[in-house]
């Protein structure tokens, strides 16, 4: 019996294919063996090469965490780890570590990995903690501003004028009186991430009722006064209808727009659907298609009147009367009020703050600190040209990271050895087993008694990716078995079918099942994707029977690979005798 083009022929048993074995093997290799450059007492040697107790324990502990149900013993892991080191050394002896492919893959991995280490995590965490504290309060600010000339870029005159204003404030003049001589005004309430970081620092470091020292920004020099502080208002989500002012619009036209806004508001109050009105009438191209819904925002992000109106709505669903800003007339509907999370252990909130830190101008501050640290670290090794600029400092450090960061060096070595192990296993075991068909057949002939069918059945196994259709598919198959192939071929992947001989343990069933010819098994839900699988039993094989070579080929390949590997390891142990320092082994720390 053959399967359809939408399925796989499983008569050759459901053993893993050689390709899949390779993939799983490589993943396991890279996970299971983590090598390091840690030095210490020698635990064992293989030939002239040595492995320290610390290196062994580092690898053992990483691969035997508390989540392991059955931790492997030191003795068993020592056998596995020594075999791993032998195989990697064999790859090096074969020159695999110097091939262009190996070097290119290593360099690519190295460059990507380095990005993870070119961050000052300690500084970033300090910035996250700072942002968390600042997020808990809002500050009402006024300002005095002396702009830097956009034409000349001259800061000297602007600095002299702001210093003059600051001296007047220090002399006791009122903030508003001094401000009248300069550009000044009210910022309103701000919270964290609203102002550029350098200005935010000035605001949050100024006590209530006091004013800041002059602070320079790209637009000019500022002095802030902290008028008032309050518990943070948090965020609000609203939908809006915007009737926008257009350039050159007359006052008469603006008044007509206001009357139209009043009419829309009246309709909404009488029960009109806000989202429908937004889609029909709003001029906000970013939100009208979504029923006017805006992203959540806090104080200081938008026009003060707009923000105050949004926060004044008392409950979800409340609608504001039209308000007028420089952009036009707005009608708002409250969707959700989001309170500030005052809990540093709230992982979701702290991750959100970290993401904002990474996307803000704060990261430039963190980068500057990192460059300063790196410059001091590499100063004794680098050439003057490598220290000339921030970019040259970073590039030198990136190129020599393993000399300064043990964790980076360990991960780089892990990748290098994992790659070498995969290459040598493919050459010595995986390809050797699959490419030599004569040897494979001979191995089967010598071990036929190991390959037998247990109780089994010729069956069709059908999986429905949509669990709602499984009952109808079962009915169709029950009424006309020949339909299964057509159903699979024409379902665009919604129905997947395997046909062949299966051992009963391979047929998915919900519980104990009395298998009989003509049985359609109860559907079983697959945990990963909620699809449902059932089987149609065509013919039973109740006796144990020997498998043919084709039936057993998957298992034969796996077993022959294991056979070749053992032969190869035995040769390696002769070439590199493994000698364990028993005194050091006995002093390995006791396991919990």
The predicted-structure confidence for 480-511, as pLDDT tens digits, reads as follows: 988 888 888 888 888 999 999 999 999 999 88
pLDDT at 40: 64
Q: Residue 572: what pLDDT? A: 97
Q: Tell me whether residue 74 is in a domain.
A: no
Phi first, then psi: give them for residue 515, nearest 5 degrees: -75, 130
Residue-by-residue DSSP string for 217-248: ETTEEEEEEEEEEEE---EEEEEEEEEE--TT
- Residue 349 within a domain: no
- Asked if residue 149 belongs to a domain, the reply is yes
121 torsion bin: left (phi>0), alpha (psi -120 to 50), beta (else):
alpha
Residue 513: band (very low, low, confident or very high) from pLDDT cuts 50, 70, 90: confident
The span from the CA of 302 to the CA of 385, in Å, is 47
- Confidence band, pLDDT 50/70/90 cuts, at residue 62: confident
Worst-scoring range by mean pLDDT, 37-51, 88-102, 216-230, 355-369? Answer: 37-51
Residue 490, pLDDT score: 87
Is there a single domain that holds both residue 143 and residue 203? yes
Residue 294 sits in the same domain as residue 332 = yes
In a domain, 92, yes or no: no
The DSSP code for 7 is S
CATH number at residue 501: 3.10.50
Evaluate if residue 466 carries a pLDDT over 50: yes
Domain count, the chain: 3
Q: How many residues can be counted in the chain?
A: 592
Note whether residue 93 is domain-resident: no
Please identify, among 187, 208, 231, the residue that sits at the C-terminal boundary of a domain: 231
Closest CA to 306 of 337, 335, 336, 330: 330
Pick from 394, 381, 520: nearest CA to 460: 520
Report the DSSP beta bridge partners of residue 233.
none
Q: CA-to-CA distance for 129 and 121, rounded, in angstroms?
A: 12
Q: 113-151: per-residue pLDDT in tens?
A: 998 888 888 899 999 999 999 999 999 999 999 998 765
Whether 253 and 328 map to the same domain: the answer is yes
Same domain assignment for residues 299 and 225: no
257-301: pLDDT as tens digits: 999 999 999 999 999 999 999 999 999 999 999 999 999 999 999
- For residue 183, tell me if it sits in a domain: yes
- The pLDDT value given to residue 17: 35
Q: Is the pLDDT of residue 34 over 80?
A: no
Task: Provide the Cα torsion 227, 229, 233, 234; round to 10°.
Answer: 110
Beta bridge partners, 243, equal 329
Domain boundary among 205, 231, 257: 231
533 secondary structure, DSSP code: E
List of residues 6+ apart from 521 with CB closer than 8 A = 507, 508, 509, 510, 513, 534, 535, 537
pTM comes to 0.59
E-assigned strand segments in 47-175: 49-52, 137-147
pLDDT mean over 196-216? 96
Domain boundary among 204, 231, 258: 231
Instruction: Check: CB of residue 553 under 8 Å from CB of residue 12.
Output: yes
Whether 584 is in a domain gets the answer no
Res 65: pLDDT: 66
Exposure string for 66-84, b = 16+ CB within 10 A, e = fewer:
eeeeebeebeebbeebbbb
Shared domain check, 214 and 154: yes
Answer whether residue 592 shows pLDDT above 70. no
Q: Which of 154-158, 302-306, 561-565 comes out lowest in average pLDDT?
A: 154-158
Q: Whole domain around residue 537: which residue ranges?
A: 453-546
Mean pLDDT throughout 205-223?
A: 96
489 in the same domain as 465: yes
Does residue 255 share a domain with residue 222?
Answer: no
Domain assignment present for residue 44? The answer is no
**Res. 38: pLDDT tops 60:** no
What does the pLDDT read at residue 426? 94
pLDDT value of residue 121? 87
Whether residues 220 and 297 share a domain: the answer is no
| Percent over 90 (pLDDT), the chain | 77
């Amino acid at each position: 019996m053959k399967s359809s083009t939408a399925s796989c022929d499983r008569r050759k048993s459901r053993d893993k294919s050689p390709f899949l074995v390779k993939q799983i093997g490589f993943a396991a290799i890279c996970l299971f063996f983590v090598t390091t450059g840690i030095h210490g007492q020698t635990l064992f040697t293989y030939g002239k090469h040595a492995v320290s107790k610390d290196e062994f324990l580092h690898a053992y502990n990483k691969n035997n965490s508390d989540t392991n149900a059955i931790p492997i013993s030191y003795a068993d892991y020592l056998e596995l780890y020594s075999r791993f080191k032998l195989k990697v050394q064999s790859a090096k002896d074969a020159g695999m570590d110097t091939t262009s492919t190996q070097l290119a893959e290593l360099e690519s991995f190295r460059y990507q990995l380095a990005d993870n280490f070119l961050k000052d995590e300690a500084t970033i965490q300090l910035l996250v903690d700072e942002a968390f504290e600042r997020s808990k309060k809002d500050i009402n600010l006024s300002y005095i501003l002396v702009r830097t000339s956009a034409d000349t870029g001259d800061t000297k005159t602007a600095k002299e004028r702001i210093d003059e204003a600051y001296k007047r404030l220090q002399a006791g003049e009122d903030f508003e009186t001094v401000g009248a001589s300069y550009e000044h005004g009210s910022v309103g309430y701000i919270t964290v991430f609203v102002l550029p970081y350098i200005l935010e620092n000035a605001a949050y470091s100024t006590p209530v009722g006091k004013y800041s020292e002059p602070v320079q920004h790209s637009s000019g020099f500022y002095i802030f006064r902290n008028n008032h502080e309050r518990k943070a208002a948090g965020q609000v989500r609203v939908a809006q209808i915007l009737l926008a002012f257009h350039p050159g619009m007359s006052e008469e036209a603006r008044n007509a727009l206001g009357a139209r806004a009043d009419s829309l508001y009246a309709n909404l109050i009488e029960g009109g659907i806000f989202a429908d009105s937004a889609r029909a009438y709003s001029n906000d191209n970013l939100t009208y298609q979504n029923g006017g819904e805006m992203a959540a925002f806090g104080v200081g992000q938008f026009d003060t009147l707009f923000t105050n109106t949004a926060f004044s709505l008392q409950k979800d669903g409340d609608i504001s009367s039209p308000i007028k800003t420089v952009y036009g007339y707005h009608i708002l509907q409250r969707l959700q009020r989001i309170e500030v999370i005052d809990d540093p252990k709230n992982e979701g909130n702290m991750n959100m703050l970290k993401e904002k830190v990474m996307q803000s101008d704060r990261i430039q501050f963190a980068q500057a600190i990192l460059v300063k640290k790196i410059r001091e670290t590499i100063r004794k090794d680098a050439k003057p040209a490598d220290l000339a600029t921030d970019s040259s400092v970073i590039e030198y450090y990136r190129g020599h990271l393993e000399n300064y960061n043990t964790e980076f060096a360990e991960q780089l070595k892990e990748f290098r050895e994992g790659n070498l192990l995969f290459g040598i296993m493919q050459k010595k075991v995986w390809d050797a087993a699959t490419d030599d068909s004569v040897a494979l057949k001979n191995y089967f002939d010598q071990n036929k008694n190991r390959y037998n069918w247990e109780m089994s059945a010729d069956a069709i196994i059908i999986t429905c990716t949509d669990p709602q259709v499984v009952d109808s598919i079962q009915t169709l198959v029950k009424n006309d078995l020949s339909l299964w192939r057509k159903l699979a071929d024409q379902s665009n992947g919604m129905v997947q079918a395997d046909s062949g001989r299966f051992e009963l343990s391979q047929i998915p069933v919900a519980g104990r099942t009395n298998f009989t010819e003509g049985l359609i098994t109860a559907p079983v839900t697959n945990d990963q994707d909620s699809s449902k699988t059932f089987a149609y039993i065509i013919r039973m094989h109740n006796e144990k029977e020997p498998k043919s070579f084709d039936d057993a080929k998957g298992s034969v390949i796996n077993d022959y690979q294991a056979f070749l590997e053992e032969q190869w390891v035995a040769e390696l142990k002769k070439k590199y005798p493994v000698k364990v320092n028993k005194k050091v082994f006995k002093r390995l720390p006791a396991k919990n």
